[in-house]
Structure 1
Amino acid sequence: MGHLSRFMDHHYRHFNAAAMMDAAKAYRAHIAAGRQLLVSLAGAMSTAELGLSLAEMIRQDKVHAISCTGANLEEDLYNLVAHDHYERVPNYRNLSDAEEQALLDRHLNRVTDTCIPEEEAIRRIEDAIVALWQRAGEAGEARFPHEYFFELIRSGVLEEHYQIDPKDSWLAAAAEKNLPMVVPGWEDSTTGNIFAARVITG
């Protein structure tokens, strides 16, 4: 048992802390028995940089499939290519309408206390992924949303823009492992809306 496990085992004894320990021990036993785990991601977990822990779990074969929203799918890639341009807004609960408008005018898309920069994140990947969609369309190929993201990462076309170590990207780890993924709610994402807009405009 490592230092953190010993600390938790000693201190996390009651209430939600104890329930978390029960879950952690059950998970460890589940994996030790050769069983598999599907992780479901909702909320802004990629923007919260869940990749810092999830990526290594994927690489160590402790996660075997992921179900996530379209937003979580794209936001891990946004973080990979635009991390240094993100802005944190600690007082987000108290923003005035004028302050919200000022963020919008700067093309900063606020997710709770974190702003995703439109130009450096969304627009940076747009041309690359649209090119993949167009090639697939011309070839009569149909793919799942995550397969395009995997191809973007594997192609290396965005590597010059990486602003974090890709070892901290859960999407990069999933692409390495060709992890099975389910992405319900693709329309939940900015990229999904870009796709729909491109279909409408031709």
Structure 2
Amino acid sequence: MISLLISPLKFALRCSYRPSFSRPLINSKFLSKKALDVNTNVTKDVILFKNPNDKFYKIISIFAVFQFGFWTYLSIFAYTTLKDSPVDTEKAKAWYEKINLGENKYRNGLTLISFLIGWGLLSVSWMYCLRSVKYLILRKGGREVTIVTFTPTGRNRMFTLGVENINCKELRQTAKAHIPLKVKGHSFHYLLDVTKGEFRNPLLFDHTAGLRRDWKS
């Protein structure tokens, strides 16, 4: 009789008892390195990001120059060629036949719009080249970063600043096309093209230039 009572009790205790070694362990492979584990005090200059796609940006610059020339020529052509010729609105049937393109408001408007289109295409294209990062270099000691960008003429433009002056707006792991970098004292963002570029030291980038910083505080 006693054994019949003890058996269920042993079974209940056996089910409720879970030895420590049976608990699921966290695989260290899935743990990201902490900032303290990454040595940012490098002994020499280290390339964090590289995008040596010079041909693409040269094509953009040439395209912008041709577009500027075309639209500038069109604006000059509109200003010098369009003559003021009054239109008989009673005989004109379609709405476009009633427009006198030689009238000052139309001629000057077409001239200005054509020039602004050409100038806008040139400015946007060249600004994109100047804001596209070719090299991102962490300087010796890990406290400064050099940003090298493309230029419309094909030469490199570079400047060096402290790491604390760079604010990364998007994580490297979630970026699909570009990673915008906000730099103190600069109006626009600098762009890292993740589709054509290469992170040479991704872990070091994440803990230096790739950090999101709150400058307001």
TM-score by length of 1: 0.19
Greater relative contact order (Cα < 8 A, sep 6+): 1
Q: Compare the two structures and name the one with the higher helix fraction.
A: 1
Q: Compare the two structures and name the one with the higher strand fraction.
A: 2
Which structure's CA Rg is the greater one? Answer: 2
